[in-house]
Structure 1
Amino acid sequence: MTTLQQHGGDGPHPTSATATEPAAPPTAGVARVLERMRELDHALPADDGVAVFNRVYLTVTEAVAQRVGDGGFADPKATGELDVQFAHRYLTAVDADATGLRPPACWRPLFHLRRHPRIRPLQFALAGINAHIGHDLALAVVDTCRALECEPPALEGDFDRIGTVLTSLEEGIRETLMPGPDLLDIADPLTHLIGSWSLAKARDGAWAAARMMWGVRRFPELVEEFADRLDASVGLIGRCLLTPLG
Structure 2
Amino acid sequence: MAATQVIRSEWTKIRSVASTVWTLSLAVVITIALGMLIAALSKSEFDDMSRRDQLSFDPTFISFAGMSLGQLAMIVFGVLVVSNEYSTGMIRSSLAAVPQRGTFLFSKIAVATGLSLVVGLATSFVAFFLGQAMLGEHRAEIGDPGVLRAVIGGGLYMTLIAMFSMGVAAMLRSPMLSLGILMPFFFLVSNILGNVSATEKIGRYLPDQAGSRIMQVVTPIDDDKPYGPWGGLGIMVLWVIAAIAGGYVTLKKRDA
TM-score (norm 2): 0.38
TM-score (norm 1): 0.39
Which structure features the higher share of helix residues? 2
The higher radius of gyration belongs to: 2
